[in-house]
Amino acid sequence: MAECIFCQIVEGAIPTKKIYEDEQVIAFDDINPQARVHILVIPKLHVVSLDDTEDTHAALLGKLMVVCAKMARERGLAESGYRVVTNIGREAGQTVLHLHLHVLGGRSFTWPPG
């Protein structure tokens, strides 16, 4: 997906300071943070959104959640709490059409969001 900014990050065409990487997942700080800690966790595989996943993606989805928790612990958010969010579709606020999870913490959040 040449036009996908996250695919370009995965391929190394757009440099980013990765804070986590394995064979399936990359994590990096959001360039427009909405909290003191705002990390993006993305699969290397191009999937548009959660709505485009199938049973074959179950292990990958689990891996994404495990990495979110790991990043939160490493940034000291486990005790105070944090939020993991994925937006699905434009009306929900998805601006990059590549599945990604936001790990947000370091401030108080309200409910309901948005």
Domains of the chain, each with CATH number or no CATH = 5-105 (3.30.428.10)
Does residue 1 surpass a pLDDT of 70?
no
Q: What pLDDT is recorded for position 101? A: 98
Mean pLDDT over all residues of the chain? 96
Please check whether residue 13 is in contact with residue 103, taking contact to mean a CB–CB distance below 8 angstroms: no
Name the pTM for this structure.
Answer: 0.95
Q: Which tens digit of pLDDT belongs to each residue from 9-57?
A: 999 999 999 999 999 999 999 999 999 999 999 999 999 999 999 999 9
Spatial CA neighbour of 39 closest among 7, 78, 2, 69: 69
Give the confidence band of 2 by pLDDT, cuts at 50, 70, 90.
confident
The catalytic residue positions are 100
